[in-house]
Chains A and B, each alone.
Chain A
């Protein structure tokens, strides 16, 4: 399968714990995006990378959130000191430079107890 993959698919954690999600984009895709989707809503943009550079961050991305793409390939999204309001589906997408079409992974569903 050469699509976007995300791990883990599900994560249950207790409030206050740290969690990290991984996204592997389609190979040779330069751009990588993170979105968050809560129940009954459309995905909301969090941040995006072009190669290893983080070019834009949403104001939704509080200082408890950090994202990296160290070698311009896979990316990680870490949430520190999780809160119940962080419970959501975290989606990753990738695209090729100059092409607007974004390909989405299956998402990581986070539940904070």
Chain B
């Protein structure tokens, strides 16, 4: 599996955009980038995934650099309920294992 690197923690003001970075410099050509989040004492929640192109859904946007070595998850208008640990995961091609790293603890402040 390609390894990912994320900042340990980030803070964001309520109502502002939260931009969470992820480095995955060893990603291979057919590996996808997945984002999940885990609110305290709950199971992880799927957010979004992408391969090459930028993606957007009702929860977030995913911006992947042209060389695919990094990506940014954008929560356009963060709320207090977005406080969670955010995991950036690269999916291996031969199966569907998700290997969770330490993630980024995002704290949205009022």
Q: Are A and B associated in one complex?
A: no
What is the interface of chain B, defined by CB distance below 8 A to chain A? none
Q: Which A residues have a C-beta under 8 Å from some C-beta of B?
A: none
